[in-house]
């Protein structure tokens, strides 16, 4: 049986990889994919705690996370399409129209 700590190491590794992708990459599509990686890391931690406490609440939470991630991806990609139409580019450093 795999100890819970190893599941938590996997979860934190995925979360940190996703965080580095969000903070360091400039392609907005890769940034969205990195956000999905971070959500996956959080989900693994939820499910691991759920299993080791024999409590199903964590799995229900993970299900809600998946649903919210789907909504987030749909809206995020719609914004990417709309920005790409007007500005032609997926570089997030060029997207500062709310600031200036």
Partner 1 sequence: MSGSEIVFYLFAALAVGSAIVTVTRQNPVVAAVWLVASFVAVAVSYVLLSATFLAVLQILVYAGAMMVLFVFVIMVLDVDEEGDAESRRPMRGSRFGYSLVLLLAGGMVVWVFVATLSKQFITPGARIDPAADFGSADAVGRLLFTDYLFAFEAVSLLLLAAVIGAVVVARSRREREKEAAAGGMQPEHMEAAGLSHPEQIVPGPFAQTDFGAPSAGGHQGGN
- Which parts of 17-76 interact with partner 1 (CB under 8 A)? 17-21, 23-27, 29-30, 32-34, 36-37, 40, 43-44, 47-54, 56-57, 59-60, 62-64, 66-75
Report CA 73 to chain centroid distance, whole Å: 9
Q: How far is the CB of 92 from partner 1 (least distance, A)?
A: 8
Report how far apart, in Å, the C-alpha atoms of 40 and of each of 37, 44, 63, 72, 99 are.
Answer: 5, 6, 11, 14, 31
Q: How far is the CB of 96 from partner 1 (least distance, A)?
A: 12
Task: Look up residue 2 and give its two tokens.
Answer: 């795999």
Closest CB to partner 1 among 85 and 99?
Answer: 85
**What do you get for the CA distance between the two ends of the chain, in Å?**
55
Q: How far is the CB of 37 from partner 1 (least distance, A)?
A: 5
């Amino acid at each position: 049986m795999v100890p819970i700590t190893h599941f938590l190491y996997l979860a934190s590794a995925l979360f940190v990889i996703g965080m580095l992708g969000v903070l360091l990459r400039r392609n907005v599509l890769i940034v969205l994919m990195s956000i999905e990686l971070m959500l996956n890391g959080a989900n693994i931690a939820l499910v691991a705690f759920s299993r080791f406490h024999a409590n199903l609440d964590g799995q229900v939470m993970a299900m809600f996370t998946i649903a919210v991630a789907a909504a987030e991806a749909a809206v995020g990609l719609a914004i990417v399409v709309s920005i790409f139409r007007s500005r032609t580019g997926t570089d997030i450093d060029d997207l500062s129209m709310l600031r200036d």
